[in-house]
Copies of this chain bind each other. A is one copy, B any other.
Amino acid sequence: MDSAAPTLIPFAELAERLACILERHGCSPEVARLLAENCAAAERDGAHSHGLFRMKGYVSTLRSAGWVDGHAVPVVEDAAPAFLRIDARGGFTVPALAAGRAQALAKARANGIAVVAIRNSHHLGALSLDVEPFADEGLVAISVINSMKAVVPHGGHTAVFGTNPIAFATPRAGGPPLVFDMATSGMANGDVQIAAREDRALPEGNGVDRDGRPTTDAKAVLDGGALLAFGGHKGAALSLMVEVLCAALGGGKFSHEVDLADHPGAVTPHTGQTFILIDPQAGRGALPDFATRVEALLAEVAAAGQDRLPGDRRHAARARSLAMGIPVSAEMMTVLGELAAL
């Protein structure tokens, strides 16, 4: 059908359109620009679950009184020579990171490693977009973020952890950085909602009902049940680690402390995000070149039969988007129009 053909929109134009929507709904021009670029970049990379799909959530969150502050000005605290703390002041994480980015880079380069702990922040974006720019600068970057309670501890019956993703980016000699970004839950919350709507069973091992019993019933998971971590007790331990590295280290809220009940429309977790940045070239002396060694490892991985590396699909989507424009469905064009007029 012609009516369903996607509109192809250049990155800058899409970002501009999103920035207008965000500014209209309560973001400062600077915050609107940063969030819009982040959202457009996710869509450009084919990371649809963190792209335009999120715009409704951004807007409903901004319109929910007393939740996120679209005009927040983050405060960057030079806690120690290699430790940067950022108080997002109730705003989004993306501008908080942007405010501390140059100082974080400088700290990692000067000291060999740095930690950045953002607190009092809201996050809806793709974690891969947060770590990739550091690897573009030659650093190894790890980021973790906690969210809202959705995942049950190992052997437990009640959700405590968020879907708590871990992202990793490393420079490589033969191409753009290798980046991965994984929830420590077995499934994303959104995918469970879709399964419930379509009355489909979940794959085994992804959820429990309200009594903590294993279930493949998506509705039982949503109705007082919880998700399971990926990979059994190991994934659950990693999820716990993410809570410690984000909330306890950064001084923010644990996932189980986030309660949206008093804020109708709000969909963002009010938690924290932590980065560990390593400069592999710091004081290297006579050691072999880091990025060349990573490339050699990836060649071995390819030779062993892994035909797609984490991020390959994202890079392919990015190349298509940059060449032809970012495809936006007719349905999404309508949504954007409505949000712009709301």
Contacts and interface: CB of A to CB of B under 8 A. Distances in A.
A280 interface: yes
A140 interface: yes
Contact of A155 (B85, B168, B254, B308): B308
A190 to B, nearest CB: 17
A82 B248 contact: no
Interface string A246-271: 01110100101000000000000000
A175 interface: no
Contact of A153 (B77, B154, B233, B306): B306
A155 B306 contact: yes
B113 A82 contact: yes
Interface size class of A (residues with CB under 8 A): 35 or more
A63 interface: no
Chain A contact residues: helix, strand, loop or mixed: mixed
Contact of A237 (B256, B290, B303, B310): B310
Given A232-B231, A248-B290, A278-B249, A240 B80 contact: no
A11 interface: no
A282 interface: yes
13 contacts: A77-B285, A80-B279, A82-B113, A83-B111, A83-B283, A111-B111, A155-B306, A160-B297, A230-B235, A231-B232, A231-B234, A244-B294, A251-B284
